A = this chain, B = another copy of it.
């Protein structure tokens, strides 16, 4: 069986202890078997990221499901900081978010924090973040979100709607609270100090637009948890539900240790990489294999630290049985890294060809997804 021991994240290298420590430190809850069964009941089949423990922690997910049981739907909110091209690591939680959208027939608010990226990167111009925002939007659309139930929001393009709500949030956030959560310094610019208020807005947008209180579920990596504390603190003061969360671990990069990072291109497969480029990156990836094929056959590999294994486990191999065989085969020294890489490379090349086709088609429907102030969405509400 694929159990929790096989999972590797940056904070799990030293074993199970750190991972539990993190959940304790943040005060979140582990996803229980009971919750998994409830999700399965609605979705028909559990997503492999749930089955294999990539999404493992939550806040108020049980409460969201209780309301859902009573017929009260929820909306989803996730986001992307468009400071560079999209890589496979970014897609992982988006695939999961699409699964949630389909399973629960949920409206999705997808925030593009182009303002944040402009404010924190000295070298980025508004023109540059706007280009990334547009290009990243194509990737989001290519994932297959429902155009009728998905609003992609550029902070800069939708500043009127967002600022109108953000000032009402900001009025309840003192500098000392924001500093404690985000670690602001005297040298922080005043734009980035205001940004947490803007980032909290989409958690309440469905309630504001539909003029009734709608629960919101945020799928995001667990390190993002503190950022939502502010939204949760402010929510009752504005008369809204606190946003719930479902947390995932990081997907490691192709290099040894660390998460996939766009700033080290050889560790990432970008969605716009030529299939052959991706293949080369995979063939050079860090694995859990021995120093030589001979040695590996003798001692076996270590799939829990193998990046190739992670890619199959969280993105490409849906079949639990095959993953189990691969795991056992690697441990026994029967599966050699070169072969395994080749299998993944074929999967990734197939995926890229399809994704890139969807990505190009997305250019024609960007307007259907991308919210702009031109839509003049009414965000007034009685305070």
Residues on A facing B (Cβ under 8 Å):
115, 118-119, 125-127, 156-160, 162-164, 166-168, 170-176, 178-179, 184-194, 196-197, 373-374, 376, 380, 382-383
Contact = CB atoms under 8 A, between A and B. Distances in A.
A118 B175 contact: no
A126 B191 CA distance: 21
B173 A189 contact: yes
30 contacts: A115-B163, A118-B171, A125-B383, A126-B164, A126-B167, A127-B380, A156-B163, A156-B167, A158-B160, A159-B159, A159-B160, A159-B163, A160-B160, A160-B373, A163-B163, A166-B191, A170-B190, A170-B191, A170-B194, A173-B191, A174-B188, A174-B189, A175-B185, A175-B187, A175-B189, A176-B187, A190-B193, A190-B194, A193-B193, A194-B194
Instruction: Enumerate the 4 nearest inter-chain pairs by beta-carbon distance, A residue then B residue, closest first.
Output: A170-B191, A194-B194, A159-B163, A176-B186
A163 to B, nearest CB: 4
Contact of A193 (B157, B166, B168, B194): B194
Contact of A191 (B158, B194, B382): B194
A192 B178 CA distance: 13
Contact of A119 (B167, B188, B380): B167
Contact of A173 (B156, B163, B190, B380): B190
Contact of A167 (B118, B373, B376, B383): B118
Given A126-B383, A189-B175, A190-B193, A159 B170 contact: no
A197 B190 contact: yes
A191 B197 contact: yes
Given A163-B163, A174-B187, 18 more contacts: A115-B167, A118-B168, A127-B380, A127-B382, A127-B383, A159-B163, A160-B373, A170-B190, A170-B194, A173-B190, A174-B190, A175-B175, A175-B184, A175-B188, A178-B190, A190-B196, A193-B193, A194-B194
